[in-house]
Chain A
Amino acid sequence: MGRRIGIEVSIALADAVKLANADVIAAYPITPQTHIVEHLAELVAEGELDAEYVPVESEHSALSACLGSSAAGARTFTATAGQGLELMHEVLYVASGMRLPIVMAVANRALSSPLSVWGDHSDAMAVRDTGWIQVFTENGQEVVDQIICAFKIAEDHNVLLPIMVHLDGFHLSHVIEPIEMPEESDVCEFLPPIHSPLTLHPSKPVAMGDFAPPVVFTEAKWAQEQAMSGVKKTIIQVWDEYAQKFGRSYHPVECYKCEGAKTLLFTMGSFSETAMSAVDSLRAKGVDIGLIRLRLWRPFPFEEFRAAVKGVKTLLVLDRSISSGGPGGPVASELKAALYNEADKPAVVSFIGGLGGRDITVDGFEQLITDGMRIAASGTDKEYEMIGVRE
């Protein structure tokens, strides 16, 4: 059994990367990711982690350095947030196209302008189509567990795709939580050393990231997409193995007090815990409400999601970013698309809130649920509701 300690989530995350025995870390510090890479730099400098720490001059270079190290077969980690993730944008496609199992922590942050260092999901949504696996976490324990699982998932030979572990900036990255840190020996058993089937090596030369004319690009993309569609199976397998070894289980879609509920609130990330308290309090008042939380955002778990909302009348969705000029929040539109062909689909009420680090309290969630149920009953002409905006 591991040790349960009070620790800042960013520091615990860095310790998890150490437990995973990463070989190369290339990163550029950016708020609110800073503590993660600062602590990793310290661990390397003090000889506690035998890894190469590559200080770079931008996030574009950080991920480019990761490309090289991962292509050479090294277990590779980086972390970023907000603008940094955007600066990596074009390299994100290169990493997934080259099928490199890079693990990246993203301390989610709003995108400028106006300049904000605080958290929301606009950075995660801006990169949702880049071919990376995306996992959202809800508390510090999950961050540690998911980082360790991420290496095992990404490096699995059926996967070989890069993965982002999202944690909400400040709301999660900068809080001190009681976290059970797994034993190094247990992590060693759970996570075998990296062994990539195709690496850069002088004795067996290969060319990676090559030129693909129109005659073969479609086939290359389809091959990549076939790998992506098999990912969910491996993820579930890895999470099950983790549960057996460490006693904490994770699922692509998770339900809280959903039994028989006709209305479900849908959240992703750290707000899920606040939403749970709101559900508890409303349930105590006799309101028929449950909570559904998404852990796996890419690839989207269509089957599990549809099964979880079967028989539900109303789905209230909270998005923490805007699809500008679009149909509402990006998550809400995804859910609508997932349900479109279903015969008995719930009505989807789309809310946008918690932007740029704004808190949503338990009361706020209760208000959202009450408003959502009213809108579902009476209808609305708006595509979405922006919550907490001053008129």
Chain B
Amino acid sequence: MAKQEHELTWKDIEIGAAVTEPGSAAVYKTGDWRSQQPSYDFSRCIKCGICYIFCPEGCIHQNQKGFFEADFFYCKGCGICAYECPTRVITMREETEK
């Protein structure tokens, strides 16, 4: 995979700053302007995957225990997963709260 933009030195730049490797927009960090993030109480989770289906960023993946979690590199904090979750597993927290 291509280097991240912040890792590129001037010597890595293609002639004319052309982009020769397709699909690189997929690695753009889109979660850095988030002001809220989802937090989880998995004791209530029924692993239905509804949050996974509704996330507009496609950033929810299943962890090793089978629970659905957001990837904060991409999660924009829209809160749709929290709204859709039938068992209220997800609550939105201010980004500054831990």
State the A residues within 8 Å of B (CB): 97-100, 160, 197-198, 205-210, 212-213, 215-216, 219-220, 222-224, 226
Give the most central of B6, B14, B22: most A CB within 10 Å: B14
CA distance A212 to B10 in the complex (A): 13
Contact of A223 among B6, B13, B20 (CB under 8 A): B13
| Known contacts A198-B16, A208-B16, A212-B17; is-contact A219 B22 (Cβ 8 Å) | no
Interface flags, B6-46, vs A, CB<8A=1, else 0 = 10111111111111101000000000000000000000000
Residues of A within 8 A of B20 (CB): 198, 206
Give the chain A neighbours of B6 by CB distance below 8 A.
215-216
Q: Taking CB as reference atom, which chain B residue is nearest A213?
A: B5
Binding site secondary structure of chain A:
loop
Take A216-B5, A216-B8 as given contacts and tell me if A210 and B18 are in contact as well, using a CB distance cutoff of 8 Å: yes
Cross-chain contact B16 with A100 (CB below 8 angstroms): yes
- Chain B: residues with Cβ within 8 Å of the partner, total of 16
Give the docked Cα–Cα distance between A222 and B13 (Å).
10
Q: Top 9 closest A-B pairs, CB basis?
A: A99-B16, A98-B16, A220-B17, A223-B13, A222-B10, A219-B10, A207-B19, A223-B10, A216-B5
Q: Which of B10, B12, B18 contacts A207 (CB 8 A)?
A: B18
CB distance from B40 to the nearest CB of A (A): 32
List B contacts of A207 (CB < 8 A). Answer: 18-19, 22
Write out the residue numbers on chain B whose beta carbons fall within 8 Å of the beta carbon of A98: 16-18
CB within 8 Å of A: which of B48-98?
none
Contact between A198 and B5 (Cβ–Cβ < 8 Å)? no
- Contact at A99–B10, with CB atoms within 8 Å? no
* Residues from chain A with Cβ under 8 Å of B13 in the complex: 216, 219-220, 223
The contact of B17 among A97, A100, A197, A215, by CB within 8 Å, is A97
Asked whether, in the complex, the Cβ of B9 is within 8 Å of the Cβ of A208, the reply is: no
- Structural contact, A215 and B5, CB atoms closer than 8 A: yes
Q: Which residue of A lies closest to B24 (CB)?
A: A207
Interface centre among B10, B11, B15, B20 (most CB of A within 10 A): B15
Of B6, B13, B22, chain A has the most CB atoms within 10 Å of the CB of B13
Smallest Cβ-Cβ distance to B6: which chain A residue = A215
B22: chain A residues at CB < 8 Å are 205, 207
The one of B8, B12, B15 in contact with A99, judged by C-beta atoms closer than 8 angstroms, is: B15
The residue on B at minimum CB distance from A227 is: B15
